Structure 1
């Protein structure tokens, strides 16, 4: 018993030392809308560095999971945030309203069917704006580089199309955009009202529930070979699910455990995937990288081709495809190739 106690204390102290070494800061800031607090995490090197427009980045999470399991998974060497810090970046991430550790509105505590989809994209970009302005003020810089994954890529692009003067560089990782025959998000998907095929399925309600098995099945389904270990170390799948479920205090109240994920993203994605785009990349005026795994089923090649076509005002635009990778490339075997491609783009003058 004593030995277990000593081991536990040692583990806690080592974790605290690692956090201190990275100068991790967890805080809450005011959103643009009254009554909403946004959880923000920042990490930077042990030896303080001067913040510049070239070394400050903000990660923006996607449709189902909040920021910390996505970008700061403390399992082996899978924290993308820690990797960026090791390369000399000051890293920020945050949870959009109704996700993770940020404020949850009343609709998230009611039966999902009682309300329309929560956290529409126009509200999510208000949250992005609050965090960007917080970072700019803290470090006395004019611009921040944005790295968005999945719906995070969409909202990062949407935000930048309205605020290019505040963005240094834009990285859109696995973006859906304007492909009007997107069968996984549009017609034929669960987001479609089968009685009114042009309309969103509002029976989905304010939020949906994300389970470990649901994410496992989706991830496994994107890997096009029977041996999933050829793409992914199996332990990371379980580690991610465990950390993700911890971000919803109600997850253990359901069987199986599940977290609540707002459906605003599903409504907006359905509109985009049926020809009704919510923003236009032609209004982006900053260098932009579009990047995805070869077998991604959220971001179709057609989405990325349309983005590259519409980025007419981006001074630099680049598209990168990571071979033998899926939507979850940040946790897969080619992840360091993926990380390097993004870091090189941000660092290039």
Structure 2
């Protein structure tokens, strides 16, 4: 299980609140479950992210009132932290560890949001290691670049900051009914973020700040996704898309690098073993919403049978009761 851009893996997949732990649901179904934080996220090492100087000027303005005595400063590491190659190399190391630890030839992938940037291209390059792929709300820019920038590392700063207010504001934009998210969820989710960031929780306002690694991406687009028919061929793919998700489905801006479309990923996959399920009444934050158990059940079925309701191809909708039917 691999996290997205801003939520550490334990907050995303193992939220210790009522029945929301997705990882626990899979474990109870009999699977060995491994979760990884890429470098710069959660409980993995966070090089160059301990100094508040390594923030943009805008983010430095959030550092009030903590740490005490902080004054604006220039970055000591004026580069972005990770890139597509380094992320895939980390994933490969973990996959090889799991294969050896569990004595299995392949690993099933579960990824949320920006995890697709790493898991998608990795599966194309290493189908021998990937049994299947379950992508929730995958970020997919169909017209993005295939080439790395030069030089590397890319200029910038190694991290940005997320706020509790920002989390709630973005989530609220995708709420369409009063029962979509139960009361207290923002607090539970933010507390889990802070549990995975002992430094960020001591910065800024009393509720703390979430340090988010920066990364440079390339090689995940309609060409990559369709390469050699691997995705949907050697690697069966299930894509789940929340009906109200405007994070992974954007209105095209001026830059194609930031035009995202979940349906475009389904269309780009050239292999026949591909399924897409639109979850009615759900947002980009479905693991933290009332429909989370539908998500758990769907992933358990897919990992076991690599089918959805007996089907291995097609586009479907899932209602709030978890009932799946062909898309109109």
Aligned CA RMSD, in angstroms, stands at 2.5
Does 1:171 find its partner at 2:134?
yes
Aligned equivalent of 1:261: 212
Q: Hey, what's the Cα distance between the residues in 2 that align with 1:108 and 1:287?
A: 40
The equivalent position to 2:42 in structure 1, one of 95, 100, 106, is 100
Q: Hey, what's the Cα distance between the residues in 1 that align with 2:223 and 2:198?
A: 32
Name the count of aligned residue pairs: 262
Aligned equivalent of 1:20: none
Aligned equivalent of 1:336: 293
Which structure is higher in RCO with an 8 Å CA cutoff and minimum separation 6? 2
**Following TM superposition, by how much is the alpha carbon of 1:70 offset from its aligned partner in structure 2, in angstroms?**
0.8
Going from structure 1 to structure 2, the CA distance change for 1:204 and 1:234 (only over 3 Å counts) comes to: farther
Runs of at least 5 residues in structure 1 that lack an aligned partner in the other structure: 1-58, 182-201
Does 1:111 find its partner at 2:68?
no
Does 1:154 find its partner at 2:124?
no
Instruction: Confirm or deny: 8 A CA contact 2:107 2:130 kept in the other structure.
Output: yes
Instruction: Confirm or deny: 8 A CA contact 1:117 1:205 kept in the other structure.
Output: yes
The equivalent position to 2:265 in structure 1, one of 304, 307, 312, is 307
Q: With structure 2 as the length reference, what TM-score do the two structures score?
A: 0.73
**Following TM superposition, by how much is the alpha carbon of 1:303 offset from its aligned partner in structure 2, in angstroms?**
2.0
Q: Hey, what's the Cα distance between the residues in 2 that align with 1:251 and 1:278?
A: 38
Q: Hey, what's the Cα distance between the residues in 2 that align with 1:136 and 1:94?
A: 15
The equivalent position to 1:293 in structure 2, one of 218, 242, 247, is 242
Going from structure 1 to structure 2, the CA distance change for 1:80 and 1:250 (only over 3 Å counts) comes to: same
**Following TM superposition, by how much is the alpha carbon of 1:280 offset from its aligned partner in structure 2, in angstroms?**
3.1
Instruction: Confirm or deny: 8 A CA contact 1:157 1:281 kept in the other structure.
Output: no
Q: Hey, what's the Cα distance between the residues in 2 that align with 1:278 and 1:73?
A: 35
Aligned equivalent of 2:304: 347
Q: With structure 1 as the length reference, what TM-score do the two structures score?
A: 0.69
Which deviations, in whole Å up to 9, do the C-alpha atoms of 1:245-280 show, x marking residues without a partner?
Answer: 12112123322210211121xx438x97xxx77943
Aligned equivalent of 2:189: 240
Runs of at least 5 residues in structure 2 that lack an aligned partner in the other structure: 57-74, 145-153, 251-259, 307-328
Q: Hey, what's the Cα distance between the residues in 2 that align with 1:295 and 1:180?
A: 23
- Bigger helix share: 1
Matches within 5 A, 1:73-88: 73-88=15-30
**Following TM superposition, by how much is the alpha carbon of 1:157 offset from its aligned partner in structure 2, in angstroms?**
0.9
Q: Hey, what's the Cα distance between the residues in 2 that align with 1:295 and 1:212?
A: 21
Q: Mean Cα displacement is larger for which, 285-294 or 318-327?
A: 285-294
Instruction: Confirm or deny: 8 A CA contact 2:239 2:276 kept in the other structure.
Output: yes
Aligned equivalent of 1:324: 281
Which deviations, in whole Å up to 9, do the C-alpha atoms of 1:184-207 show, x marking residues without a partner?
Answer: xxxxxxxxxxxxxxxxxx896321
Instruction: Confirm or deny: 8 A CA contact 1:211 1:258 kept in the other structure.
Output: yes
Does 1:219 find its partner at 2:219?
no
Q: Hey, what's the Cα distance between the residues in 2 that align with 1:347 and 1:117?
A: 38
Aligned equivalent of 2:95: 132
Which deviations, in whole Å up to 9, do the C-alpha atoms of 1:205-239 show, x marking residues without a partner?
Answer: 321101111111111111135x3xx1011222211
